[in-house]
Amino acid sequence: MINKNFIIENTKTLFYALIIAIIIRSLLIQPFYIPSSSMEPNLLVGDRIFVTKYSYGYSKHSFPFSPPLFKERILDNEPKRGDVIVFKTPADNRTDYIKRLIGLPGDTIKFIDSNLYVNNSEIIKTKISETDEIFCGSQKINVITFQEQLSNNKSYNSVYLKDFPFQNSDTFKVPKDHFFFLGDNRDCSKDSRFLSSVGYVHKNNLVGKAQFIFFSSDRSKGSILAIWKWNKSLRLNRFFKRIN
């Protein structure tokens, strides 16, 4: 016969553990899975990352199901140009996207001959390789890899298709309290260039800053449950890798 006190105590333990987990997830750190190739070569499909929720303060989107606890951010802290950030898409305020912050409030962004300009200054990019191959969805594509350096000296790798299909754009003027994001996989990313689906992202939609990869596996080489395939599927060199 099961002891009634045993059931009550274990129920309490589970309840307290759930509350602690929600607090940690909401206020401190939250894991995310990378499902798309829009941030290659820096983030790969199958990477699992930790995002710090406290980096930019808190909004309703810091909590599960985005409860309307408050209208504005509290303990607000301005993100830095070049940060890799998880945010809720303005289209539905529900879907999580991860992109790189390029434009701050008041900035102007423009592509001219496939070159990125911020506030009329070209972002200098240095060619690293012309022979890299990455994913765009399930398809492998040949790209040119560059190192880009922003005005605050933040540098990172980005990739472009060899024929540079995204040549020119209108001028994007970032509104007050909004931000402009790009994917590092420039020709395979739905980001702020597409105003109808992503566009400018309000500061209240920021979820947190991507800090490091804690686990990574290549699903094309075997399920994570297939222990006997771990030697092929696990990307051990990406474990605990800091996100630049």
Q: Report whether 143 contacts 134 (CB < 8 A).
A: yes
Sequence-distant (6+) residues with CB within 8 A of 174 are: 103, 104, 105, 106, 107, 108, 109, 180, 200
Polymer length in residues for the chain: 244
Q: Considering 36, 38, 189, 216, which one is annotated as catalytic?
A: 38
> Which structure tokens are listed for 176?
């007050």
What distance in Å separates the CA atoms of residue 97 and residue 93, rounded to the nearest whole number?
10
What distance in Å separates the CA atoms of residue 7 and residue 242, rounded to the nearest whole number?
43
Q: Which residues of 140-152 are buried (b: 16+ CB within 10 A; e: fewer)?
A: ebebbbbebebee
DSSP notation for 78-111: PPPTT-EEEEE-TTTS--EEEEEEEE-TT-EEEE
**Bridge partners (DSSP) listed for residue 163:** none
Write the single-letter amino acid at 12: K
Q: Considering 53, 60, 88, 99, which one is annotated as catalytic?
A: 99
Is 99 known to be catalytic? yes
Q: Report whether 174 contacts 104 (CB < 8 A).
A: yes
> Which structure tokens are listed for 29?
């750190």
> Which structure tokens are listed for 99?
């992109």
Active-site positions read: 38, 99
